[in-house]
Structure 1
Amino acid sequence: MPIAHICLSCTKTFTSLGGMDNHCQAKHHMANPNVCRECQLSFGSPAALQSHVNSSPRHVNDDDSDEYSDQAFEDYSDDSSTEASDDDEPYCQSCKRSFVDKIGLNQHLAYSAKHNWCFDCSRDFACEEDLVKHQNSLAHKERIFRCPFCEKLYKSPSGIAMHIESGCHKMTRHHVTAAAHAMRIVPNISLRTIKGGSAPAPPTNITTYIATEDSFNGKEYECFLCKRTFRSLQGLNAHLNSPAHDADEFKCPKCHVEFKLISGFAQHLESEACGLAARDDVNTFFDDITAQFSRLLRL
């Protein structure tokens, strides 16, 4: 059953996936990975998402059910399309102008100061900066990163990490975190070893919280750990089994922002927010990390 679009770090909910993505990118928070971007729906667990993919007629011929794992953080604008199809009159809805042919419309969209148009996905952006950010995002990148445990391809290293953290391949985010701590990454990003501790062993038992109708306080469903409230029981359970109550585990060695998950740190690097590494350097770095990561998780 779909739930509200939710930030798993602070439990704030959003009316759109774009709003959730933009918030998580700005705050370095983790978005709910269990989303169907094609249908613009969020779910409380990987099983619920997979059930949706399996049962929805829209996905009958869809072989890429892990699209939700790619967090292509981008600035969404109004999705109303201006570009006309071949059978329609070339018309710019926002400017209320008709054109002789589609070439004229496209030239208008390309050169008018009123538009910041992406021709690949037929979207208009509020400003040129937003368009450039969108074009540099994962939106139009090819899937070149392969999961070390299956044949799935992703657009970024963080996509692979989130795919495994979500519970695929009998792994959990706790196994991924333990494996990342065990690596000798230079510069050091592990808060455990920075603080003088030792790398934790992979967990043998995982605690799962399940809220019931007893969590309803008369108005909303209340988390017994942090007292945050949710409009639905599904939203509360998604929160309880998210990283929301996990400790920070990793730290950027340049800007010192801390992260609960290795995928969050990977997204931070990929965004080039602090300029620690260029994207090509990040990809090369994670190619090496993925090889070590694969060996550790197979032990």
Structure 2
Amino acid sequence: MLAAYAARIDADQPLAALEVGDLEVASTPGGALVPGDWVEVEVRAAALNHHDLFSLQGVGLPARACPMVLGCDAAGVTADGDEVLVHAVINDPSFTGPDSTADPRRSLLSERYPGTLAERVRVPRTNLIAKPAELSFAEAACLPTAWLTAYRMLFTQSGLRPGNTVLTQGAGGGVATALVLLARHAGLRVWVTSRSAERGERAVRLGAHAWFPSGERLPERVDAVMESVGAATWSHSINSLKPGGAVVICGTTSGAEPAKAELTKIFFKPLRVIGSTMGTQDELTDLVSMLVSTGLRPVIDSTYPLADARDAFARLESGAAFGKVVLAAE
């Protein structure tokens, strides 16, 4: 089948490790064998994430697992004709509990098992939720990673209430655009930072109340910061919080080792530092319901056919995308 896959690992030039072509999953030497009772989904749309670039660099994907089909997000159709979204968190069979992200042995599709950037993907039946007719396949494919991450950060982890002020570090990525739209709809005052005036202004047109240059002192402190950048913005995030405020961190795209840990400020203010990763299937179901009832829709930067996945990856790697980059069959 046609797939976009990591043929090898290249820490310095991730796109050099990307191949687009025929790959039979059954012949893949790496990863884990797909259980026979998993359900096959014909992929109609799949969204790219920075996770895919990290995989090509060997983050979470060892060389021995290559070739590995990339991709976490998908929406498609089962053999029974059901239109579905794929929840990408794969739990260990022994795990029990309501929060799938608490499983220390969990993985995402494309880490141990083939991912979604292919004509077909196989997943546990329990990882499927119904795609409502109100959402296109491309829109639905944007939800399981970036939008679910933003939803959990805001509504499960942060403790924010309507009227509070939230700062999102960075403007324009999939998680950032989701945070702006969800937070504005929830009645929060929404601020963003950006190194680009054009992207900051686009975030304001999307729904942010204001944007500020990255690292600039804010006019007042905020109740919470949504952090996905990491080292480059960590000190600014800590210094931007009110006493008792929270920084919710879901990623470290600029690196995981900040110049200063800011520990004194964290315990003296005191501040809360909350880790957040992906979300549960129940949260994904609630997110889908929220979009149906409110009319909110993901921002899609661009759409490519699967055969042009290399161009889609180049768009993602360039940092120029505003919203999600999608591979779609429709």
TM-score range, shorter chain: under 0.3
Q: TM-score, normalised by structure 1?
A: 0.28
Q: TM-score, normalised by structure 2?
A: 0.26
Higher relative contact order (Cα pairs below 8 Å, separated by 6+ residues): 2
**Between structures 1 and 2, the one with greater strand share:** 2
**Between structures 1 and 2, the one with greater helix share:** 1
